[in-house]
Chain A
């Protein structure tokens, strides 16, 4: 029963954690907007979420295969391709980072809303009202 409830929330909690991690990375990019030679970084949210739910691209099809070790391994953090490269080697483009940050924030809040409605749904099921 408890496991069932846990399963209901697994995807949301993973998504929240990833969104938070992505926010930290985007904040790092914004912090380094004026640092020469700094390369902007980001994660691919969909790939990371799929991996955290262990339905990633590496499925095991035979006993000899080794499955993905831990769900909590650090994700693959990639470098952003700049639209307009600058002379000092910095690849942070403030407008891009701000848009990504805003979008990530909205999606974080949406996930929170999903959790809230899930919670109230479960509560009314428990109360049986």
Chain B
């Protein structure tokens, strides 16, 4: 993760990597939505990546930065307690614990992440076209 940012391709590449981490987290949240556990400690907790700006710190290139997903953190939310005495996973008091995944929130997050991934692709293809034109200068 400590590779240096040399040019515009590195900027977009790492930003896309960060968005992919975000999409992975969303996918695992959605896959585990409504998972059931028999005690609160075992219940699935939704995960969210933490984004951090990475600067290119050579003085010549100030203002150039990209983003990294530095960690993926578990959200501090309590599982949903439900009274279902007949359930095979129920504890001795008859409770089950559902994973507290907010599906709507995850969907919106997923749309935003994919939109931002596409933006970075757009940057790359534009820059690629510009560089090819520059390379063909005077022909």
Contact = CB atoms under 8 A, between A and B. Distances in A.
Interface in A89-110: 94, 98, 101, 105, 108-109
Contacts of B30: none
B119 A30 contact: yes
B65 A28 contact: yes
B63 A33 contact: no
B130 A28 contact: no
A119 B64 contact: no
Nearest to A77: B63
B53 A74 contact: no
A31 B134 contact: no
B51 A35 contact: yes
A36 B51 contact: yes
Contact of B127 (A23, A32, A35): A23
A34 B133 contact: no
B67 A25 contact: no
Given A23-B8, A28-B11, A35 B64 contact: no
Interface of B: 7-8, 11-12, 14-15, 19, 22, 51-53, 59-67, 112-113, 116, 119-120, 122-123, 126-127, 130, 133-134, 137-138
A109 B119 contact: no
Interface residues of A, number: 29
Nearest to A16: B134
Nearest to B138: A119
Nearest to B19: A34
Contacts of A28: 11, 63-66
Contacts of A77: 62-63
Contacts of A119: 137-138
Nearest to A26: B123
B120 A32 contact: no
Contacts of A43: 63
A38 B112 CA distance: 17
B119 A25 contact: no
A27 interface: yes
A38 B50 CA distance: 13
A41 interface: yes
A106 B66 CA distance: 24
Contacts of B51: 32, 34-36
Contacts of A27: 8, 11-12, 123, 127
Nearest to A28: B65
Nearest to A37: B53
Given A30-B123, A34-B112, A105-B126, A116 B11 contact: no
